[in-house]
Chains A and B, each alone.
Chain A
């Protein structure tokens, strides 16, 4: 449990962090809350030569509203997301999801940006990020670009971020209270075997699913099947499509078949809960 040797640098601005990333290239890793990187380093699965700690860049930690959107800084912790009055009132799905992440210590240190960039296929945030159609800002040597949530998750542990970029901000829309996140936990790790986030509005629903496939996905077949119907029967029929078109993961914790089943069950439950709110 002793990591290999590394250098540690602590930039005070995003520009400085990007410059450091450019300088060190593949030898460097960005550290925020450290809850994915440090365990990997302790097992020596990750052996970066340089660790760039962006955790002290004050301008990266905030939750604020501007023009119908709520902007969340990359190093905002899960517990800040969980307890934010603004989010609880105007985008409660994100707070509800954050409350399911790990335990209190994890939520006190882990950050939304770190979690998204790590893109663990069983982490919680991708489900609401997809269902909310969030936008993600990435800053690199070529400046800032904005990526839509459905373009962000590329594959297992892979996102649209480039090696010399830093995720700086996540933006989610203000929603009605008709949202829900339902998760079945992997018993040992607490990660999602199937986590389903639903955002409902009179015109339709959006469903994000995490834990089931190599990357989180929008359950578009569910969304299309339910349309603007709201009956229990319609929910049941729609939820049956929760794992359509994906190849579910299978491991010692749940077979592919069971994960797909949990996706359907949790989709039904999340739809029921969201539509009852």
Chain B
């Protein structure tokens, strides 16, 4: 039985880890089906070209090659790749699974070869001849907006996909009229490649007798695929089973419906044989979604005493050549938390989505919120610097008071709960702020470039209320007390590394009063987890966990009715505690789950009208998002000679509401900060002026490694969310969102003595060195 300490709140190791650490996890590429065929995809070497002719006969002649298809063979029978984002007046090109008569980015799928083994499939690709007529490529989104620019999709007539404008709060023009000063700044979010260690992988198997298709795919969203693929494949969702086996990293990159998923399914149906496709690293870099890539011009209307009256943002989002599932939605999400933790009465946010001959951008860890947080946190430092106000005072001055929540922002959302002063105070304490300031002073006196950066962030999690989500934002869950008194929990959120096999078991074990070992959490197979909206936007525990809580409470309620029957009393007299049913004052008898479950399923002695079994499922519809927040403090030392940045101290205090498992929270924050270190200091996806991808593999795209990660000091405060019964908020992306600006602000602070006021991301050694060169010379 459960001991005195509840499971919730305990730092427990993940039940997932032993199998993963021992190499016993089953990933998509581990699947071996009889008669399995292997697909290999030929991809465009050009950013933009007309295809004059494709010759496949030599490829087809290779022994072992089963089929070679081009766009002409499949695009009529396999539907277009969907975009779920609803943006008014969105202009979208038709996104066929293989290229038609043109290619629009390097890595665009042109043809597919299917063979009896993957080596032969690759040999076949080498034998396909494509006659390309290269066309001018659009690579730079700002250039793409100029009149006379080349066109990404010439048939569309323009490069603009949409313009999204939000005016919020009070009169923005009045705010700017009343300002003492208007501070302008341009900020750039570089393009990033998510680079999950497991690239995408798909196995499709069609059962001709049943007419059923099973698709194993390394995805975050099996349920959304089951909703969206029927339109592409012409198969009803009742005949479609999607399975997400172990997923070796997603970070948003696998929150998508990809052409290859539909293509493999189509091939399996067409060839009546199972088909596997596993992406190479180069394909992953070129043909799996990228993240960020926004450039924005920001204007802040301020009074001389530091009061911020209004914020205008004009942002250009580089969408790439096609719209993937949420491509246009990501930059618009930025507008929802533009004002960060601050009372800023008026905003105007305009984002222009632009097509370029590059891979599509889409949701990457944080999706929209890192952009907003980076810009507001940089702007707070810029404003403080210009007005000669202490940067922490400026922030504190604009925090809503803890009593102001729920707090309606000028961006049109209502922050559920918060205590921003609390995380800032705790972070200062953990960082030993006064000593840190003294260290900075001493280091500077000794000629060192030492800087301290702060970011106070708020973000949007628990996505979300269905009205605000393209495909519904509810979540489904099921709890079943089995006949053996073991417990099966089924969740629709499809955790893939976040640890809910552990945290959901903690929740259920506590509520049922059973040992956690007796609880199994199932997920990721639409034949098992019938409904769900999957994992993204840090929604798993806040939304999915709540559906589990609702279900477990239904099971307990039903069990009480059965117990009352066995006690020969009324439901109201039955007490359930520590896993036992009792009727104090009526009988000394106690009924354990083992007895009750047997009664429920053997069904020899049930109350009238009582359905056998102890199972309940629930759909939870959240009334609002949750808004986790925190303060990150980073200290860096910059090497004067080489421009290299060493992070000497990192303190993060995050408030994600109640914590089910603090160890999982810490793990998420640690991983999130690692991603932020990458974005702040070295990661960048680079295309050359012709649209050639220069960062197509790990030799050229730098991801953070263990040696890049400093010692973290992590802390938390707990401000429960009022919008779900667990009081949880979500923490999957917080580290990434909070840390990038803290690191960036620290580097710029370190360079302040040289007169450097801003640097773009990533702050590479060379970029820093160049800034030092010009400034040192200029100030001498």
Question: Which residues of chain A have a CB within 8 Å of any CB of chain B?
Answer: 1-5, 43-44, 184, 187-189, 252-255, 258, 261-262, 265
Contact yes or no, A188 B766, CB < 8 A: no
Chain A hits for B119, CB < 8 A: 2-3, 5
Contact yes or no, A2 B701, CB < 8 A: no
Chain A hits for B686, CB < 8 A: 252
Q: Is B694 an interface residue (CB 8 A)?
A: yes
Bound CA span A4–B122, Å: 8
Q: Quick one: closest A residue to B199, CB to CB?
A: A1
Interface residue ranges of B682-712 to A (CB < 8 Å): 682, 686, 694-695, 698-703
Partner of A189, one of B118, B280, B699, B766: B699
Chain A hits for B649, CB < 8 A: none
Bound CA span A261–B770, Å: 11
Bound CA span A189–B280, Å: 18
The proximity string for B residues 239-251 relative to A, scoring 1 for CB distances below 8 Å and 0 otherwise, is 0000000000000
Chain B hits for A252, CB < 8 A: 686, 694-695, 700
Q: Quick one: closest B residue to A255, CB to CB?
A: B766
Not counting A1-B280, A187-B764, a sample of 19 additional A-B residue pairs whose C-beta atoms are within 8 angstroms of each other reads A2-B40, A2-B118, A2-B122, A4-B122, A44-B122, A44-B126, A184-B642, A184-B765, A187-B682, A188-B698, A188-B701, A188-B702, A188-B703, A189-B700, A252-B686, A252-B695, A254-B766, A261-B769, A262-B642
Interface residue ranges of B117-160 to A (CB < 8 Å): 118-119, 121-123, 126
Contact yes or no, A253 B700, CB < 8 A: yes
Q: Is B89 an interface residue (CB 8 A)?
A: no
Contact yes or no, B694 A265, CB < 8 A: no
The proximity string for B residues 596-629 relative to A, scoring 1 for CB distances below 8 Å and 0 otherwise, is 0000000000000000000000000000000000
* A-B pairs under 8 A by CB, number: 47
Q: Quick one: closest A residue to B700, CB to CB?
A: A188
Chain B hits for A3, CB < 8 A: 119
Q: Quick one: closest B residue to A184, CB to CB?
A: B642
Question: Which residues of chain B have a CB within 8 Å of any CB of chain A?
Answer: 40, 118-119, 121-123, 126, 280-282, 641-642, 644, 682, 686, 694-695, 698-703, 764-766, 769-770
A198 to chain B, nearest CB (A): 17
Chain A hits for B644, CB < 8 A: 184
Partner of A4, one of B123, B280, B642, B703: B123
Q: Please give me the 8 A-B residue pairs with the lowest Cβ-Cβ distance, nearest first.
A: A187-B702, A188-B702, A2-B122, A189-B699, A1-B280, A265-B641, A258-B766, A2-B119
Q: Quick one: closest B residue to A42, CB to CB?
A: B280
Chain A hits for B703, CB < 8 A: 188
B743 to chain A, nearest CB (A): 15
Bound CA span A252–B702, Å: 12
B696 to chain A, nearest CB (A): 10
Given contacts A189-B700, A258-B766, A261-B769, contact A1 B642 (CB under 8 A): no
Bound CA span A265–B766, Å: 13
B100 to chain A, nearest CB (A): 27
Given contacts A1-B280, A4-B123, A258-B769, contact A188 B642 (CB under 8 A): no
Bound CA span A3–B122, Å: 8
11 pairs across A/B with beta carbons < 8 Å?
A: A4-B122, A44-B126, A187-B702, A188-B700, A188-B702, A189-B699, A252-B686, A252-B694, A258-B766, A258-B769, A262-B642
Q: Quick one: closest A residue to B682, CB to CB?
A: A187
Bound CA span A254–B280, Å: 27
Bound CA span A76–B480, Å: 60
Bound CA span A253–B644, Å: 13
A78 to chain B, nearest CB (A): 18
Bound CA span A5–B117, Å: 13
Chain B hits for A4, CB < 8 A: 122-123, 126
Q: Quick one: closest A residue to B694, CB to CB?
A: A252
Chain B hits for A189, CB < 8 A: 698-700
Chain B hits for A44, CB < 8 A: 122, 126
Q: Quick one: closest A residue to B698, CB to CB?
A: A188
Bound CA span A3–B123, Å: 9
Q: Quick one: closest B residue to A254, CB to CB?
A: B766
Chain A hits for B699, CB < 8 A: 188-189
Bound CA span A252–B40, Å: 30
Chain A hits for B682, CB < 8 A: 187
Chain B hits for A1, CB < 8 A: 280-281
Chain B hits for A184, CB < 8 A: 642, 644, 765
Chain B hits for A255, CB < 8 A: 766
Partner of A43, one of B282, B764, B770: B282
B601 to chain A, nearest CB (A): 51
A190 to chain B, nearest CB (A): 9
A12 to chain B, nearest CB (A): 28
Chain B hits for A187, CB < 8 A: 682, 702, 764
Bound CA span A252–B764, Å: 11
Q: Name the residue in A187, A253, A255 with the highest tally of chain B Cβ atoms < 10 Å from its Cβ.
A: A187
A215 to chain B, nearest CB (A): 19
Contact yes or no, A265 B642, CB < 8 A: yes
Q: Name the residue in A2, A44, A255, A262 with the highest tally of chain B Cβ atoms < 10 Å from its Cβ.
A: A2
Bound CA span A253–B764, Å: 9
Bound CA span A5–B699, Å: 25
Bound CA span A2–B120, Å: 9
Q: Quick one: closest A residue to B640, CB to CB?
A: A265
Bound CA span A43–B282, Å: 9
Chain B hits for A261, CB < 8 A: 769
Bound CA span A52–B439, Å: 59
Bound CA span A14–B453, Å: 60
Chain A hits for B695, CB < 8 A: 188, 252
